[in-house]
Amino acid sequence: MKAQNKIILGVAAAALTGVIIYVIRRKNTYHILSTVANEGYETAQDILFPSKGKRDRKLQYGPVIPD
């Protein structure tokens, strides 16, 4: 196999991998957004998906009395 064919095959494989990753991320994003939309505006994303995002030690659920 010529070097040019190897380069073309490598670029095609990289492009295919990029497209697959893009489609999977897009599907996951729309899944998350549809879940949040079904729950309504009362439920925040940090309650629905606690494993994502920043975790703060001072995070409290429910009513909080301001300091």
Report pLDDT for 36: 74
Task: Indicate the SS3 state at residue 64.
Answer: coil
The total number of residues shown for the chain amounts to: 67
Report pLDDT for 11: 97
Report pLDDT for 62: 73
Its pTM stands at: 0.55
Q: What is the pLDDT of residues 4-63, one digit of tens each?
A: 999 999 999 999 999 999 999 999 888 888 877 776 666 666 666 666 656 666 666 777
**Contact between residue 48 and residue 33 where contact means Cβ atoms under 8 Å apart:** no
